């Protein structure tokens, strides 16, 4: 029993210590000033050119990431550590770069193309590596003539669930050619949702640029798969009087884009909201400390920690749920575009 308690305490410490450490404000508060959690929260959910682990100011511990900039026909490559927290410009020949509130700028207003490996890009590459390790290992074990065990016993039910309960019922005939894409979509979203729950991790699926690309791919796949019945319902809606055609056709065309737009917003909003809520609950401790002193912080801390743990469990559920919903709706949209008219 004692051993289990120690494990629980260690798990709680593992998840909460980094959150406490990077929720602090680098500037000392003035007398009577209440701690403002907004900058720390926005910094946590935003992309950046370094992977911040914990601490603030001079005590900050970060992993520098490579900056790759194409300017004046030349490629400039260096690490973000050269900026020293944005206080120093980096000069390469006649090109000078600076960080302005986390965004790269060229001091002399020269045009450049930013190909840098940001925190979100690094997280996405990490998730791809995780997926490769998971499925290459599972594929090797699946060739053996025996019951699945270990990792395969966890992945196989998920793969069968996506294929038999999501893709097949919603697409119907010809569903097999869409299974690889939809399995990739499901596990990519799921793995990145779960990685985002690790303290100091990136908020990849909470980045609207990432959800935009995922939704855009769904838009392309859906409309390239559309048959004549699908396009006929858009440009010649059945049962609609001729007088209403000028109204209905634009509405149907707008509907082509609103469906993937809803996918984009749903995933982005749900994942970002979870991160913001957890950070806000942690920040209550610092707000109480700045307003009521240490006694206020110790009074708020137990309630805040309990709610954070509760939200973590909810976010694990949301990680699976959002991957399921995105894959389900994508399958449904493809199914509506490929269904044969009877």
**What's 43-99 look like in SS3?**
HHHCCCCEEEEECCHHHCEEEECEEEEEECCEEEEEEHHHHCCCCCCEEECCEEEEE
Same domain, 168 and 262: yes
**312 and 199 in a common domain:** yes
Residues 328 and 277 in one domain: yes
User: Does residue 40 contact residue 279 with C-beta atoms inside 8 Å?
Assistant: yes
> What pLDDT was estimated at residue 156?
85
Q: Are residues 239 and 189 in the same domain?
A: yes
pLDDT digits (tens, 9 = 90+) for 210-241: 999 999 999 999 999 988 888 888 888 888 78
Specify the pTM.
0.84
**How many domains does the chain fold into?**
2
Cα–Cα nearest to 107, from 96, 94, 122, 99: 96
Domain identity same for 110 and 132: no
Rounded alpha-carbon distances, angstroms, from residue 10 to 182, 195, 312 = 37, 19, 16
- 311 alpha carbon, distance to own chain's centre: 17
Asked which of 89, 114, 139 is the last residue of a domain, the reply is 114
How high is the pLDDT of residue 80? 83
Same domain, 259 and 238: yes
264 plus 176 within the same structural domain: yes
Residue 219 inside a domain? The answer is yes
DSSP string across 247-302: HHHHHHHHHHHHHHHHHHHHHHHHHHHHHHHHHHHHHHHHHHHHHH-HHHHHHHHH
Low-confidence residues of the chain: pLDDT under 70: 1-32, 55-58, 84-87, 142-149, 341-342
Looking at the fold, whether 103 and 149 belong to one and the same domain comes out as: no
What contacts 177, CB < 8 A, 6 or more positions away? none
Position 11 scores a pLDDT of: 52
Could you list the residue range(s) of the whole structural domain that residue 91 is in? 66-114
Residues 227 and 158 placed together within one structural domain of the fold: yes
Same structural domain for residues 87 and 185? no
33 within some domain: no
| pLDDT of 22 | 44
- Please give the pLDDT value at position 18: 46
pLDDT value for 94? 81
- Residue 100: which H helix or E strand, with range? strand 95-100
Q: What is the pLDDT of residue 39?
A: 80
């Amino acid at each position: 029993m004692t051993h289990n308690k120690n494990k629980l305490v260690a798990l709680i410490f593992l998840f909460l210590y980094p959150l406490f450490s990077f929720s602090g404000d680098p500037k000392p508060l003035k007398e009577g000033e209440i701690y403002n959690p907004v900058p720390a929260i926005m910094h946590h959910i935003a992309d950046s050119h370094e992977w911040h682990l914990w601490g603030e100011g001079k005590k900050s511990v970060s992993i520098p990431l490579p900056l790759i900039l194409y300017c004046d026909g030349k490629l400039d490559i260096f690490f973000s550590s050269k900026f020293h927290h944005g206080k120093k410009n980096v000069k390469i020949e006649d090109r000078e770069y600076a960080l302005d509130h986390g965004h790269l700028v060229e001091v002399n207003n020269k045009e450049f193309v930013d190909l840098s490996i940001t925190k979100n890009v690094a997280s996405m590459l990490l998730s791809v590596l995780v997926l490769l390790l998971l499925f290459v290992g599972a594929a090797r074990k699946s060739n053996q003539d025996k019951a699945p065990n270990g990792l395969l016993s966890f992945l196989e039910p998920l793969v069968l669930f996506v294929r038999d309960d999501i893709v097949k019922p919603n697409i119907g005939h010809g569903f097999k050619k869409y299974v690889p894409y939809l399995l990739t979509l499901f596990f990519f979203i799921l793995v990145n949702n779960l990685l985002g729950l690790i303290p100091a991790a990136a908020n990849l699926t909470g980045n609207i640029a990432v959800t935009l690309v995922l939704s855009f791919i769904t838009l392309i796949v859906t409309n390239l798969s559309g048959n004549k019945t699908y396009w006929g319902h858009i440009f010649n809606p059945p049962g609609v009087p001729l007088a209403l055609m000028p109204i209905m056709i634009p509405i149907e065309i707008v509907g082509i884009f609103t469906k993937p737009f809803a996918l984009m917003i749903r995933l982005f909003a749900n994942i970002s909201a979870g991160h913001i809520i957890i950070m806000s609950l942690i920040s209550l401790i610092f707000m109480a400390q700045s307003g009521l002193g240490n006694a206020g912080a110790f009074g708020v801390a137990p309630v805040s920690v309990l709610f954070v743990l509760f939200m973590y469990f909810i976010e694990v559920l949301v990680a699976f749920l959002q991957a399921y919903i995105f894959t389900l709706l994508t399958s449904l949209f493809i199914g509506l575009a490929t269904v044969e008219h009877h």
